[in-house]
Structure 1
């Protein structure tokens, strides 16, 4: 679990997304509204099964359709669907602007395995990067973003239907933000050369050639490290990978040796 839990309700054929009430950066009702709006613009998305969240004690639950026998999309499908998403006309008032460092303090606080020096280093890195981000140049303008665009957040069902999931990060910002995860995962060695080349050709832009690539890349690595820190808990393997990520951010060799967890 990261920021939320996802529970299959097999009797109803639904998925329940569960978040704590008042969780920073979480707005379950807006996520439902975004799904409905994107579907109306012919963007492939998962559909909410209920138009309102349900309050259960200290938690907020939203219900979603369950795509049976679905699988993560390949990179060509991801690039194709991102082009469709990024081409949608931006709505007025529905979506927030991209905040690359949102939830930083919350995730830092939840990283029980981080020592004092780790926290100091990560805060200094965030502050330095925030200054650089303020003057970063983006080639592709602004568009509607998924915000966390990777293959597991675009599902392909058995019948071939495609659907973006995890819509809580949808926002307005530079399309480069959505392209950076795939490029960074490629740098980590998680994709073959041909797969990444096909992704770039299908989308029509290689984010690594962007003048803001250094800032995009580092911001994503910082988020990936903090996400892992908050979920490491008593998991020795995750703690080892977290330590490696921080060490390589310090010595400038990141993302060499980064694994999924």
Structure 2
């Protein structure tokens, strides 16, 4: 998704809601977009409406349910999504002067999230290879050899996933649990954001990103140890860790392929990620975006 697409969709969406969008600014871009509307005091999330049977209001209902379970979440600023062409726009409260949580706070909030009762409906089961084929087909900078290699890697990991054992059972997961998806406001309030990935599955899935980011060199050993001790489990000690690790690296590579067409630095990093997946040295030299 490009910045102009995201801002255009948001501007069209809020026009009917009577909200100002003259100062709209992109906060984050990837497959989805996050746009800040400072004058309106809201954050807009822009998600491509890929599937005809997709449920645009799902994320809003998840936020309401999590709040009812005393899980810290951002609240919708509008109770219904807004459809703009091929995009779904949802409006959320803007937590002013908020910052990404530190790893200890993330571990504490994940423990709270993973402890809530698992609902019988509402949430889907974890799908580790969700959107894989779509991302592979649309990924920029991938040649035929890359696509063949990544597809074969997915197939191998899919078989391993079905035989993996998980020590922590099943729980409600965030699904994309990293520091930037847990905000802390200046008054101390905490809020999980980007709730479209919330699902049911093994808690090890939510712990894997932080462990992998540590392997990438993005966190110090002290920071990671504090995270694992605060949560009470080090996912790297799990028998399922090698599979979890590889699946996450595969997803991180395909995510990067969605936004490399106009960024030479990202193009180089994408090539590096694929090369290191091939030769087994991943995630050495992986940088974050």
2:202 pairs with 174, 181, 184, which one? 174
Residues 24 and 103 of structure 1 are in contact (CA less than 8 Å); yes or no, is this contact kept in structure 2? no
Describe the superposition over 1:66-115 as per-residue Cα deviations: whole angstroms up to 9, x where unpaired. 00000000000000000000000011210000000001011111112100
Between 67-76 and 103-112, report the one with greater CA deviation: 103-112
Quick one: structure 1 residues 24 and 84, their matched pair in 2 at CA, closer, same or farther if it must change by over 3 Å?
A: farther
The number of aligned residues is 261
Residues 28 and 168 of structure 1 are in contact (CA less than 8 Å); yes or no, is this contact kept in structure 2? no
User: Which fold has the larger relative contact order, with Cα–Cα distance below 8 Å and residues 6 or more apart in sequence?
Assistant: 1
Describe the superposition over 1:36-92 as per-residue Cα deviations: whole angstroms up to 9, x where unpaired. 000011000000111111122332211100000000000000000000000000112
Partner in structure 2 of residue 73 of structure 1: 101
Partner in structure 2 of residue 47 of structure 1: 75
Describe the superposition over 1:144-185 as per-residue Cα deviations: whole angstroms up to 9, x where unpaired. 000000000000000000000000000000000000000000
Partner in structure 2 of residue 61 of structure 1: 89
Tell me the distance in 2 between the aligned counterparts of 1:247 and 1:241. 10
Partner in structure 2 of residue 91 of structure 1: 119
Partner in structure 1 of residue 65 of structure 2: 37
Residues 47 and 87 of structure 2 are in contact (CA less than 8 Å); yes or no, is this contact kept in structure 1? yes
Residues 31 and 259 of structure 2 are in contact (CA less than 8 Å); yes or no, is this contact kept in structure 1? no
Partner in structure 1 of residue 137 of structure 2: 109
Partner in structure 1 of residue 169 of structure 2: 141
Show structure 1 runs of 5+ residues with no match: none
TM-score, scaled to structure 2: 0.88
Tell me the distance in 2 between the aligned counterparts of 1:5 and 1:237. 20
Partner in structure 2 of residue 192 of structure 1: 220
Tell me the distance in 2 between the aligned counterparts of 1:83 and 1:25. 33
Q: Does 1:259 align with 2:271?
A: no
Tell me the distance in 1 between the aligned counterparts of 2:85 and 2:253. 31
Quick one: structure 1 residues 24 and 96, their matched pair in 2 at CA, closer, same or farther if it must change by over 3 Å?
A: farther
Q: Does 1:100 align with 2:128?
A: yes
Show structure 2 runs of 5+ residues with no match: 1-28
Residues 25 and 102 of structure 1 are in contact (CA less than 8 Å); yes or no, is this contact kept in structure 2? no
Quick one: structure 1 residues 23 and 4, their matched pair in 2 at CA, closer, same or farther if it must change by over 3 Å?
A: farther
Tell me the distance in 1 between the aligned counterparts of 2:162 and 2:109. 29
CA RMSD of aligned residues (A): 1.3
Residues 27 and 168 of structure 1 are in contact (CA less than 8 Å); yes or no, is this contact kept in structure 2? no
